[in-house]
Amino acid sequence: MKRTVPIILAIGSGAILAIVFFLNPDFKLLFGVTSDNIKQEVLKWVTIVSGFTLILGVVSIFRVNMKAFQQKKTDRWYKMVTIVSLLAMAIPGVFPGPATEIGKTLYTYLPDWIGVYGSQNGIIVSWLFDHLDAPMMATMFATLAFYIASAAYRAFRARTLEATLLLAAALIVMFWRVPMGEAVLNAMSPDLPEWINTILMRGVNASVQRGIIIGAALGAASMSLRIILGIERIYLGKT
């Protein structure tokens, strides 16, 4: 029950989606249901179940922070800040928007001002996202510019041929991608920026990306096959 049923579910759902790919979408399987119907239904199920995994994650964040606050751990007030921020965004966010079927019924009974909730036309969620979340996200990534530069200064030493190649490629791209650098390259030779793009980006970079994509895809496909055949069971945990 605890291990056999999940394995059967994983094998079954995986095999169905793998097999229906090879069938005619209009091929009728059982009770007039086509292979495409089954594929679409299973995909919808997976989307719904995956949605619950994210809810689980958010609830876990709430629980972990609340536990830390209750246990009076160091920085417990910061944990409370996380909880308050989470609720401030999540409560109006999960409230049914006016575009949803439930929302349409709900808004016939609720006063109009309730419309400020819900993310469809929501003021609260949009405001919090546009004026707090998005600027904070941009600033967080912007601060990484300093740390990347500092890490590069310490790590990028042309000690070996490989390190020199890395350093040279990075410097060329950074120089080429700023307007002043491109102007200098253009002054040296009008074809130079295009050559950098052709050889460095569309040549070497694209070929390595392609190699990595093919390798990773082969790995993902083989791992998928192991799961569908029931060989890979690590997702069940230890007990």
Partner 1 sequence: MSESLTLGSHLTIWIEAFVTLALFSFLYKDNPIYKFIEHVFAGLSAGYYAGLIGQSVIYPQLLDPLYSDFGGNWILLIPFGFGMMMLTRLTPIGPIPDLSWMSRWGLAITIGSTAGIFLISQLHGLVMPQTLDTFASFGRAGNTVEFAMAILTLVGVISTLVYFYFSKEHVGVIGRVAKVGIWFIMVAFGAQFGYTVMGRVSLLIGRMTFLIDKWIVGSMGSMFN
In this structure, the dihedral spanned by the alpha carbons of residues 40, 45, 47 and 53, taken in order and rounded to 10 degrees, is -170
Is 37 a binding residue for partner 1 by CB under 8 A? The answer is no
CB nearer partner 1, residue 188 or residue 229: 229
Give the E-state strand segments of 17-147 in sequence order.
Answer: 28-30, 33-34
Residue from 29, 66, 119, 192 binding partner 1 (CB under 8 A) = 119
Q: Are strands 33-34 and 28-30 parallel, antiparallel or unpaired?
A: antiparallel
Q: Find out whether 114 and 107 touch, Cβ atoms under 8 Å.
A: yes
Would you give the binding string for partner 1 spanning residues 175-214, x where CB under 8 A is met? --xx-------------------xxxxxxxxxxxxxxxxx
CB nearer partner 1, residue 163 or residue 188: 163
Instruction: Write down the least CB distance from residue 160 to partner 1, Å.
Output: 9
Closest approach of partner 1 to the CB of residue 194, in Å: 11
| Site residue total, partner 1 (CB under 8 A) | 133
Q: Does 70 bind partner 1 (CB under 8 A)?
A: no
Closest by alpha carbon to 123, among 95, 83, 85, 159? 95
Q: Out of 84, 110, 158, 188, which residue is the one contacting partner 1 (CB under 8 A)?
A: 84
Q: How far apart are CA 194 and CA 186, in angstroms?
A: 9
